[in-house]
Structure 1
Amino acid sequence: MAASPSSSAQAARERVARRLRDLRAESGLTGTELAALCGWTHPKTSRLENARTAPTPDDIRRWCHACGADDQAEGIIAESRDAETAYTQWRRQVRSGLRRLQDSYLELYRSTALFRIYSSTLVPGLLQTEGYAGGILHTSARLHDVPVDDSAQAARARVERSRIIHEPGHRLVAVIEEAALRHQVCDADAMAAQLGYLLTAGALPQVSVGIIPLASPSRGQWPRETFHVYDDRLVSVELVSARVRITQPDEIALYLKAFEQLRGAAVYGAEARTLIAQAIDALH
């Protein structure tokens, strides 16, 4: 795995810069000549080519026109837009409240057939109860100084959104570290209800829940950052400060490889239910 998932966003910006640099080199223009044709200074050309400044759509169109490559402009603009949305700070996303943030995922959820989730710290959102989700979202609201704490409404929206796994055409494969069952993010009654629901949801035919035991004698991967895989097209990683969206096929393939190794370390069925039941007993 990469040392920091946020490096994916920077790598995406560098790919855009490299495409621009290659276009200039193929056209035979120097940086100074391209700057003159585009109507800006040479330092700006350098900043764009070295990914120190993100290009605007107008910058890209001027660049491509100067290089005689107008047909490539829209493709590079689209790639640049993806690069700039790859790393999104939570403080920007929660300005209008946590409820609205939950609703922003609806289209992605509806278009996903297979959800693969690895969680090292919490019960995954698609399997959360309202009380448990409320505890998590209230903590997030305080951390990010959300102007109006709408965590209760956001928790209801999260549970409503999670009903997608009960609709035809959707499957969920969840791998959870046993430690996540012990992190009490809400009161004991709400925590017991959450773990009880995990037992129920795990019995659904379209849901697979695996638990990686704390006492696992050997495992191919140590606990990783929590990540979500949507089909084979997107990986989302949640950091303290931001959400990272990974779309490059080689990086997605690495996360899928790690997921399969983590899935292989998990226990299922009666063994998984025993670990959940033990976590419930520990609340009393």
Structure 2
Amino acid sequence: MLPGTTPDDGMTLPPNNTNSATNVHEARNALGKRLRELRHQAGLTGKQLAESLAWPPSKVSKLENGRQTPTDDDIHGWTQVTGTTDEAEALLASLHTLEVQHAEWQRQFKTGLSAHQNEIADLDARTKFFRAFEATVIPGLLQTPEYARARFAQGIAMFRAPNDINEAVRARAQRQEMLYRPDKRFHFILTEAALRFRLASPEVTLGQLDRLVSLSALPNVKLGIIGFETHYVVAPWHGFWILDHDRVMVETYSAELNLAQPQEVELYGQVFEQLATVASYGRAARAIITGVIDDLAPDATEDGS
């Protein structure tokens, strides 16, 4: 959820409907409204349109009222029956914009997880400056193969996706090679909770924490850690990525939101800077990480015995 904050005064409100969710809802409603207009212009009732396309009558109502997102085939069928095939291209453009803004994991993972990693790699190649805040998980670009495997395993289980976990881990490892490219810059901010959450075995988590210490020394990587004792100015409602100054990516349980409206990108940039002001860097950040390592080490020893 987008933090309900006023960045200038630091006041925090309870989570509310996010701008991103509102925009997705409005875009789906606008597309449905246009479909309804085309049906009315053709003089068809919803029942007649549904019968022409061999659809259940409820589907027409769901599409027109924004309760269901149409497919490409739905758009083509609708414009053919209403005699408005010249509108198909514009409608498909609206649909695809909506799909990018709200990309459901169930649909993205239909063919496996590695394909999504490769899609992200294309976006990585175009991006020069990465800013990422994570409150609960280690960012993918910083993950060890073992930690990544644990995260992908959860995705496969949740979405019943094809098990291409080996290919997905390899694709993520290949993406991480850009951490060593001098033409790219990275600024990561993690909460101490992200270091401590048991999202993998103690042994895997220890290896992950060691990797964070190593990566923090890279010249083009800036790693900030927000300790438990820190007084937040902006509440850490959720993780997000800012790519250059053009796009914000937010992952929810059901979908990946891609925000590109200037006011949204600017707001997330302000939130990131507020979080950066309370994060610890350099030796102080590594001290937090090593403190977590010391606390976790006995558990790893017990599990390994």
Q: Note whether the superposition's TM-score is higher than 0.5.
A: yes
1:156 to 157, 161, 170: 170
Deviations 1:86-112, CA, capped at 9 Å, x for gaps: 212212211211222211211101001
Does structure 1 residue 11 correspond to structure 2 residue 26? yes
Identity over the aligned pairs, expressed in percent? Answer: 32
1:167 to 172, 178, 181: 181
2:255 to 221, 224, 242: 242
**CA displacement at 1:131 relative to structure 2:** 1.1
Q: Is the contact made by 1:9 and 1:84 (CA closer than 8 Å) also made in structure 2? A: no
TM-score normalised by structure 2 residue count? 0.75
**Counterpart of 1:232?**
245
**Counterpart of 2:93?**
78
Q: Is the contact made by 1:115 and 1:230 (CA closer than 8 Å) also made in structure 2? A: yes
Q: Is the contact made by 1:127 and 1:162 (CA closer than 8 Å) also made in structure 2? A: yes
Q: How many Å separate the matches in 2 of 1:135 and 1:261?
A: 31
Please identify, of 218-227 and 273-282, the stretch whose mean Cα deviation from structure 2 is larger: 218-227
**Counterpart of 1:212?**
226
Q: Which amino acid counterpart does residue 248 of structure 1 have in structure 2? A: Q
**Counterpart of 1:274?**
287
Cα distance, 1:95–1:17 mapped onto 2, change above 3 Å: closer
1:262 to 252, 275, 282: 275
Q: Secondary structure at the match of 2:133?
A: strand
Deviations 1:14-59, CA, capped at 9 Å, x for gaps: 56678x69xxxxxxxxx6xx75655645999998886567683797
**Counterpart of 1:26?**
none
Q: How many Å separate the matches in 2 of 1:249 and 1:61?
A: 36
Q: Which amino acid counterpart does residue 252 of structure 2 have in structure 1? A: L
**CA displacement at 1:228 relative to structure 2:** 1.1
**CA displacement at 1:125 relative to structure 2:** 0.7
**CA displacement at 1:7 relative to structure 2:** 3.1
**CA displacement at 1:82 relative to structure 2:** 0.6
Deviations 1:226-258, CA, capped at 9 Å, x for gaps: 111111221111111211111222222221121
**Within 5 Å, which residues of 2 pair with 1:36-185?**
37-38=41-42, 40-41=44-45, 51=66, 56=75, 78-148=93-163, 150-185=164-199
**CA displacement at 1:166 relative to structure 2:** 1.5
**CA displacement at 1:153 relative to structure 2:** 3.0
TM-score normalised by structure 1 residue count? 0.80
Q: Is the contact made by 1:175 and 1:266 (CA closer than 8 Å) also made in structure 2? A: yes
**CA displacement at 1:161 relative to structure 2:** 1.0
Structure 2: any 5+ residue segments left out of the alignment? 3-15, 50-59, 298-305
Deviations 1:123-180, CA, capped at 9 Å, x for gaps: 11111111111111112211222233x3233122212111122223211111101100
Q: How many Å separate the matches in 2 of 1:272 and 1:16?
A: 48
**CA displacement at 1:275 relative to structure 2:** 0.3
Q: Secondary structure at the match of 2:182?
A: coil
**CA displacement at 1:11 relative to structure 2:** 3.2
Please identify, of 194-203 and 34-43, the stretch whose mean Cα deviation from structure 2 is larger: 34-43
2:210 to 196, 216, 221: 196
**Counterpart of 2:55?**
none
Q: Which amino acid counterpart does residue 156 of structure 2 have in structure 1? A: A
Q: Secondary structure at the match of 1:208?
A: strand
Q: How many Å separate the matches in 1 of 2:247 and 2:233?
A: 23
Q: How many Å separate the matches in 1 of 2:223 and 2:27?
A: 33
**CA displacement at 1:196 relative to structure 2:** 1.1
Q: Is the contact made by 1:13 and 1:84 (CA closer than 8 Å) also made in structure 2? A: no
Q: Secondary structure at the match of 1:222?
A: coil
Cα distance, 1:189–1:84 mapped onto 2, change above 3 Å: closer
Cα distance, 1:88–1:201 mapped onto 2, change above 3 Å: same
Q: How many Å separate the matches in 2 of 1:270 and 1:48?
A: 55
Q: How many Å separate the matches in 1 of 2:30 and 2:229?
A: 42
